[in-house]
């Protein structure tokens, strides 16, 4: 798992399905799913929505603050991961939706 993604959701996900964390990982592995990658993708998607949102605090928060809100603790790493996922930086993405 990346250092920007905590393993905190694992026990909650396992408990919600009444299974052990070990079994959760086994089921995901059999399905070809890496939990860390899945969680990271969801968090990046939330950041993307917040950066593009027409209203609300996401429009006025710094990109670093939005990243931290979704547990990306390193701003440079957040920007790299965002660009890798979406083909543009968070600043470029925000600029498309909120031109100055």
Q: Domain spans of the chain?
A: 35-97
pTM of the model: 0.75
Question: In whole angstroms, how far apart are CA 7 and each of 2, 14, 62, 79?
Answer: 10, 12, 25, 21
Q: Is residue 97 a contact partner of residue 52, using CB atoms and an 8 Å limit? A: yes
Tokens of 64: 């670093």
pLDDT tens by residue, 78-89: 999 999 999 999
- For the stretch 26-54, pLDDT in tens is 998 899 988 888 889 999 999 999 999 87
């Amino acid at each position: 798992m990346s250092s920007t993604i905590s393993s905190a959701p694992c026990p909650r996900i396992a408990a919600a399905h009444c299974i052990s964390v070990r079994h959760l990982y086994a089921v995901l592995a059999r399905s070809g799913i890496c939990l860390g990658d899945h969680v990271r993708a969801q968090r990046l998607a939330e950041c993307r929505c917040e950066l593009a949102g027409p209203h609300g605090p996401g429009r006025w928060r710094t990109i670093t603050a939005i990243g931290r809100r979704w547990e990306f603790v390193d701003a440079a790493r957040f920007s790299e991961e965002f660009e890798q996922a979406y083909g543009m930086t968070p600043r470029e993405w925000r600029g498309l939706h909120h031109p100055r």
